[in-house]
């Protein structure tokens, strides 16, 4: 059993910022990285809205930002474990029990920054064709669709940002949105509208994804008329929001009806000594800048809580 002052669960911008701050506070934190170092931002193509990270000649990628955050946190003493948490026991209070695939920990304080994952449509064919034409990440899979036609499902910032990225590879990117007005912000809407490879199919939902080995078409319905039709496509990229990665915390921390961990404005959860930051507790802002800020706040509160106990 490893005894630690602070264990940080998750390595996205919230986790790596919490690691930087707790490391600089000489708490020698351990970050349990989870399935993907950096979380969702590691798979983001371009970072244009994180203050201080700006190069108009060569826009930094999400991977660049994660690498820089990781190096900075490790430089100041954070230790990163490339492992996943499978169980926690917070009921007995501090020190808190945390089990990963490879180790067991007892942590005086815990900062939960396990993030969120892309939501699925839940239609026939989606699961069967995942990795064979169905994708939740343009940056990861766009390359496989060179010269092909793809559809993007969703009308938010992710759908447009990823759709614009996909035009680098695909011949045609059709955005299927269930309403006739986008949720995405005006800057992305302008860029999408100006992109000759992009078009929009309004009031449309996907009922089924069909193929033979790989995706060949989608069956769709018009939400205003109910009319059904088929659209030929080689790929279906789904960007319809996210759900928090909080399954392993069920029964341990108070959550809302969607599974987001409830925190107060000091990033405290329902268990004293356990703090949370980033998308695991934030269904609203979900930006690199806000997650990093929340990670910083959680780290400062964890440090204060630990020092007051001594
Ligand atoms: P989002 O804003 O929640 O948008 C999800 C989209 O999917 C909405 O247009 C929604 O339609 C649609 N949708 C939801 N469920 C659906 C279903 N079952 N079938 C069909 N369509 C469905 O999610 P997001 O785009 O992932 O963005 C999440 C957050 O991250 C936002 O706060 C966003 O601003 C932020 N973000 C920012 C950037 C950036 O600043 N560059 C980039 C990416 C994401 P309705 O509109 O009808 O609800």
**What CATH number is attached to the domain comprising 168?**
3.50.50.60
Q: How many domains does the chain have?
A: 2
135 and 65 within one domain: no
**Which of 201, 220, 238 is where one domain is finished?**
238
pLDDT per position as a tens digit, 196-207: 999 999 999 999
Which residue's CA is minimally distant from atom 38 of ligand 1?
Answer: 157
pLDDT, position 176:
98
135 and 113 within one domain: no
60 and 9 within one domain: yes
For residues 118 and 194, what is the distance between their CA atoms, to the nearest angstrom?
A: 27
Query: What is the extent of the structural domain holding 66?
Result: 2-117+242-309
Q: Which atom of ligand 1 is nearest to the CA of 118?
A: 26
160 and 107 within one domain: no
pLDDT, position 139:
82
pLDDT per position as a tens digit, 125-149: 999 999 899 999 998 899 999 999 9
Ranges of residues in the chain whose predicted pLDDT is under 70: none
178 and 88 within one domain: no
197 and 214 within one domain: yes
Question: Is there an atom of ligand 1 within 6 Å of 237 CB?
Answer: no
Whole-number Å distance, alpha carbon 184 to ligand 1 midpoint, is 7
Question: Is there an atom of ligand 1 within 6 Å of 120 CB?
Answer: no
**Which of 177, 211, 238 is where one domain is finished?**
238
Whole-number Å distance, alpha carbon 171 to ligand 1 midpoint, is 24
State the chain's mean pLDDT as an integer: 96
Whole-number Å distance, alpha carbon 301 to ligand 1 midpoint, is 31
137 and 278 within one domain: no
26 and 111 within one domain: yes
pLDDT, position 140:
82
**Which of 206, 238, 270 is where one domain is finished?**
238
Hey, which residues are catalytic here? 137, 140-141
188 and 253 within one domain: no
204 and 107 within one domain: no
pLDDT, position 257:
97
253 and 204 within one domain: no
pTM: 0.86
156 and 111 within one domain: no
């Amino acid at each position: 059993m490893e005894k630690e002052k602070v264990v940080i669960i998750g390595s996205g911008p919230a986790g790596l910022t919490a690691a930087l701050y707790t490391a600089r506070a000489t708490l020698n934190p351990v970050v349990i990285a989870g399935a993907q170092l950096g979380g969702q931002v590691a798979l983001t193509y371009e970072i244009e809205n994180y203050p201080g990270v700006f190069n108009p000649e060569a826009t930094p990628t999400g991977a660049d930002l994660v690498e820089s955050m990781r190096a900075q946190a490790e430089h100041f003493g954070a230790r990163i474990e490339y492992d996943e948490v499978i169980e926690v026991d917070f009921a007995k209070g501090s020190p808190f029990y945390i089990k990963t695939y490879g180790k067991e920990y007892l942590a005086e304080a815990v900062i939960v920054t396990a993030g969120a994952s892309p939501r699925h449509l839940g239609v026939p064919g989606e699961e069967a064709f995942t990795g064979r034409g169905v994708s939740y990440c343009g940056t990861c899979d766009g390359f496989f669709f060179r010269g092909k036609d793809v559809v993007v499902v969703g009308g938010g910032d992710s759908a447009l940002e990823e759709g614009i990225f996909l035009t680098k590879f695909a011949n045609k990117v059709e955005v299927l949105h269930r309403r006739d007005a986008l949720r995405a912000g005006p800057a992305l809407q302008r860029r999408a509208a100006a992109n000759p490879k992009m078009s929009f199919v309004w009031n449309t939902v996907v009922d089924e994804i069909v193929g033979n080995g790989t995706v060949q078409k989608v069956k769709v319905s018009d939400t205003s008329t109910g009319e059904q039709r088929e659209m030929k496509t080689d790929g279906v990229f789904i960007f319809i929001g996210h759900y928090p990665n909080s399954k392993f915390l069920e029964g341990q921390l108070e959550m809302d009806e969607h599974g987001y961990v409830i925190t107060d404005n000091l990033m405290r959860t329902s268990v004293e000594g356990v703090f949370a930051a980033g998308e695991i507790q934030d269904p609203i802002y979900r930006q690199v800048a806000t997650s990093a800020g929340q990670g910083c706040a959680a780290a400062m509160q964890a440090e204060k809580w630990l020092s007051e106990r001594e």
